Amino acid sequence: MNLTGCGTALVTPFRKDGGLDEGALVKLVDWQIRSGINFLLSCGSTGEAATLEENEWLRAVAITSEAAAKRVPVWAGCTDNSTARAVAKAKKLAAQGGIDAVLTASPYYNKPTQEGQYIHFRAIAEAVYPIPVVLYNIPGRTGISIEAATVARLANDVPNIEAIKDSSGKIDFTANLVRQTPDNFSVFCGDDYLALGAISVGARGLVSVASNEIPAEMTAMVTAALKNDFAAARKIESKYATLLAANFWESNPAPAKFVLSLMGISEATVRLPLLTPSEPTRARLEKLAAELGLKA
């Protein structure tokens, strides 16, 4: 995978009644691309994939792909803690077409061994071959980590497992991934606040939450870091550091969706068990958005 740069883990816009807001999604995708984002991820954690019905998930991916119109690569999230269901879902995604990669996280809740994860990911990759597969390491949500040795084994054994999004929150783990995987395997940081550190140890880019709100700025930050212009990258990071943190003042993506509503881009609606931010958090987010010039 030759892709580098900043990609947005897109929110999935919902109407006030909770239904998929197709029009808002089309506008969001177009605005992201016009703002210079390098690639897009549909239906990841930030996209509330866990609360989407299967038809909604496939539809959201299709809309994202159609709106992108091949201007940037589109990844689609496809995760399940049952290998059989994950494979079945992956086959439906591949049959629908229009995507450039499948992102799949470790099976959540049942805590498989490293060998179990190896077999799980290999089965998904074989189901969608030759579509590239991006592994997703996010132990804070799944309860387990994919060890670097397992990632390296998958990268060497399965031709279309080409990258990983690492949301371990540990720079030393990211560095181990870079060291242990082949040169043609791509490591992407999955934590906005660690992007510069991850790039400094060899990550090829960032899959960002904050770029939902500030796509041009996050892309500029990542681009500068990839060019070893860390002074310029740190200047951007310093300006928006509070926003990077604010997106996690309450459960992601509720804060980001609230800021997007202040920007006039989409509604703040999230699906249970998530809630829109509490009144104190909303007040803090409004103040921050005003200070950063993000309010419509």
Taking only the tens place, the pLDDT of each residue in 178-215 is 999 999 999 999 999 999 999 999 999 999 999 999 99
Q: What is the pLDDT of residues 33-91, one digit of tens each?
A: 999 999 999 999 999 999 999 999 999 999 999 999 999 999 999 999 999 999 999 99
Q: What is the pLDDT at residue 1? A: 83
Structure tokens at 164: 């990983």
Residues in Cβ contact with 211 at an 8 Å cutoff, skipping those fewer than 6 apart: 6, 7, 8, 32, 37, 218, 219
Distance CA 131, CA 198 (A): 26
Residues 26-34 have a mean pLDDT of 98
- Sequence ranges of the domains in the chain: 5-227
Average pLDDT over the chain reads 98
Count of H helices and E strands in the chain? Answer: 12, 8
Domain 5-227 listed as CATH 3.40.1190.10: no
165 is catalytic: yes
Residues in Cβ contact with 141 at an 8 Å cutoff, skipping those fewer than 6 apart: 45, 105, 108
136, 170, 193, 240: the catalytic one is: 136
Model pTM?
Answer: 0.97
Structure tokens at 293: 């010039």
118, 165, 240, 257: the catalytic one is: 165
Residue 296 has pLDDT above 90, yes or no: no
89 is catalytic: no
Q: What is the pLDDT at residue 91? A: 98
Phi-psi region of 78 (alpha: psi -120 to 50; beta: other; left: phi over 0): beta
Side-chain-facing half-sphere of 100: CA atoms under 13 Å:
21
- Whether residue 151 contacts residue 120, with contact meaning beta carbons closer than 8 Å, is answered with no
Q: Is the bond into 13 cis (omega within 30 degrees of 0)?
A: no
Distance CA 12, CA 2 (A): 27
Residues 226-240 have a mean pLDDT of 98
Confidence of residue 15 (pLDDT cuts 50, 70, 90): very high
